[in-house]
């Protein structure tokens, strides 16, 4: 056992694989619930796209969360994990007919609608089933988030949402459709956001919008502010949990809810990222012309964030306490971007050592691919290995 890892149990498993620390996940879920209970009308959905491991989903369901889905497959995963339809929200710019039908059949809480053509298709499919679809409009608040350009979603130039200036037209149009009920407004400005000022900017924008709607005598049942809360990738041991208190307090202080209105959140990364690690084995140490490479058996097919977003993940040698040495940690895939970290210090590593690539519980296993005909990594939980 080194730190939180049952290294002896790991020795029997084929690498690479994901390992989820369920104690940390449950502690995180408890903390979120404690913070949420301080505020009237707050409801939390988990964004399934961050991680759909069945045991992870099951723990999240037990904590009483709903889900936020962006595909029919995620709705199916939610239902399989026991989430009731009335706790599911369904977002996405390109919902197919079968996915909309699935949502209608499951009587989901809400479709987060991103365009008028989509609204009309939902109305048509709902009419065929004799159902009324509950919808929220995803508005593009044109609020920037201080995060990586590839993961901002709330700027006017992004493909997501309906432009603010079209808000009234769209709501009025929806009111003419027989099988649509407008119940909410939805926003999501990006991911890995650490500056509470970004969420505050979103609150200000929503307050302005609600004032304008009120002038037209329109109120909605709920506001959904999406997700986006970031975690500390640099210090997974010292700071194993996102700052949920500041996050929920910011919304409680800044957002002016109307009487009876509920406030929905869709957190993904902050819920699951810290509890997951990608466990990989050192295959070879190669002394290059100018640096030393630790070649490991995991690649970007297992964890694509470093290659895709230049994301940082702390890497630890969990087999050795030898004095540190400096390495580029690279995978076996035939692409130059298959690099997990450059010039990092690790306890000197040798063939056969296990390395933990930390904070990989979100957008890790779920984004794995079979490029190079590689097998998909398995996911084990601390419950499995206890």
Q: Within 59-118, which residues bind ligand PLP (CB under 6 A)?
A: 68, 70, 91
Among 47, 102, 135, 303, binds ligand PLP (CB under 6 A): 47
Told to check if 35 binds ligand PLP by CB under 6 A, we report no
Q: Which is nearer to ligand PLP, 112 or 381 (CB)?
A: 112
- The rounded distance, in Å, linking the Cα atoms of 88 and 146 is 29
CB atoms within 10 A of CB 144: 15
Q: Within 245-284, which residues bind ligand PLP (CB under 6 A)?
A: 266-270
- The rounded distance, in Å, linking the Cα atoms of 72 and 176 is 27
DSSP letter, residue 237: T
Q: Which two tokens stand for residue 340?
A: 């997990």
Q: Which is nearer to ligand PLP, 25 or 346 (CB)?
A: 25
- The rounded distance, in Å, linking the Cα atoms of 316 and 358 is 8
CB of 193 to ligand PLP, least distance (A): 7
CB of 165 to ligand PLP, least distance (A): 21
Query: What three-state secondary structure class fits 163?
Result: strand
Among 16, 66, 161, 227, binds ligand PLP (CB under 6 A): 227
Among the listed residues 148, 385, 367, 364, the one whose alpha carbon sits nearest the alpha carbon of residue 275: 364
- The rounded distance, in Å, linking the Cα atoms of 72 and 60 is 19
Told to check if 236 binds ligand PLP by CB under 6 A, we report no
- The rounded distance, in Å, linking the Cα atoms of 274 and 262 is 28
Among 53, 67, 140, 191, binds ligand PLP (CB under 6 A): 191
Query: What three-state secondary structure class fits 221?
Result: coil
Structural contact between residues 381 and 4, judged by C-beta atoms closer than 8 angstroms: no
Q: Within 322-381, which residues bind ligand PLP (CB under 6 A)?
A: 362
Stretch that binds ligand PLP, among 117-125, 165-173, 221-229, 242-250 (CB under 6 A): 221-229
Stretch that binds ligand PLP, among 43-51, 177-185, 201-209, 378-386 (CB under 6 A): 43-51
Told to check if 49 binds ligand PLP by CB under 6 A, we report yes
Among 72, 226, 299, 379, binds ligand PLP (CB under 6 A): 226
Among 228, 276, 299, 361, binds ligand PLP (CB under 6 A): 228
CB of 187 to ligand PLP, least distance (A): 9
Query: What three-state secondary structure class fits 335?
Result: coil
Distances (CA, A) of 323 to 8, 87, 107, 317, 347: 22, 51, 58, 11, 5
Q: Which is nearer to ligand PLP, 16 or 227 (CB)?
A: 227
10 Å CB burial of residue 63 (0-12, 13-18, 19+) is middle
Q: Which is nearer to ligand PLP, 108 or 267 (CB)?
A: 267
Give the largest Cα separation in the chain, rounded: 71
CB of 33 to ligand PLP, least distance (A): 17
Q: Which residues bind ligand PLP (CB under 6 A)?
A: 47, 49-50, 68, 70, 91, 188, 191, 226-229, 266-270, 362
């Amino acid at each position: 056992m080194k730190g939180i890892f049952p290294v002896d149990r790991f020795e029997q498993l084929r690498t690479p694989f994901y390992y989820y620390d369920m104690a940390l996940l449950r502690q995180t879920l408890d903390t979120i619930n404690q913070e949420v209970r301080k505020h009237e009308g707050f409801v939390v959905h988990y964004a399934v796209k961050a991680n759909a491991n069945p045991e992870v989903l099951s723990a999240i369901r037990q904590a009483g969360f709903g889900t936020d889905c962006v595909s029919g497959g995620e709705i199916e995963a939610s239902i399989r994990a026991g989430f009731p339809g009335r706790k599911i929200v369904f977002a996405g710019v390109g919902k197919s007919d079968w996915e909309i039908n699935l949502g209608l059949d499951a009587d989901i809480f809400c479709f987060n609608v991103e365009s008028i053509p989509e609204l009309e298709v939902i109305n048509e499919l709902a009419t065929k089933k004799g159902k009324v679809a509950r919808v929220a409009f995803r508005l593009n608040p044109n609020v920037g988030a201080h995060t990586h350009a590839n993961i901002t979603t709330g700027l006017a130039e992004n493909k997501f949402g309906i432009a603010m200036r079209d808000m009234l037209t769209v709501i009025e149009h929806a009111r003419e459709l027989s099988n649509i009920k407008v119940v909410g407004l939805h926003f999501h400005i990006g991911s890995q956001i650490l500056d509470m000022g970004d969420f505050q900017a979103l609150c200000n924008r929503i307050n302005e919008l609600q004032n304008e709607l009120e002038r037209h005598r329109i109120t909605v049942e709920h506001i959904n502010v999406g997700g986006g809360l970031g975690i500390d990738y640099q210090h997974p041991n010292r700071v194993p949990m996102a700052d949920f208190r500041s996050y929920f307090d910011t919304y409680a202080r800044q957002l002016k809810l109307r009487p009876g209105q509920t406030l929905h959140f869709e957190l993904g990364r902050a819920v699951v990222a810290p509890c997951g690690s990608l466990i990989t084995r050192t295959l070879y140490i190669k002394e290059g012309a100018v640096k030393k490479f630790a070649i490991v058996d995991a690649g970007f097919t297992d964890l694509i964030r470093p290659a895709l977003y230049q994301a940082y993940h702390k890497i630890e040698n969990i087999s050795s306490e030898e004095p540190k040495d400096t390495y580029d940690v690279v995978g076996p895939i035939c692409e130059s971007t298959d690099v997990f970290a450059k010039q990092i210090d690790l306890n000197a590593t040798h063939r056969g050592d296990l390395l933990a690539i930390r904070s990989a519980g979100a957008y890790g296993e779920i984004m794995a691919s079979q490029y190079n005909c590689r097998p998909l990594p398995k996911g084990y939980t601390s419950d499995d290995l206890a």
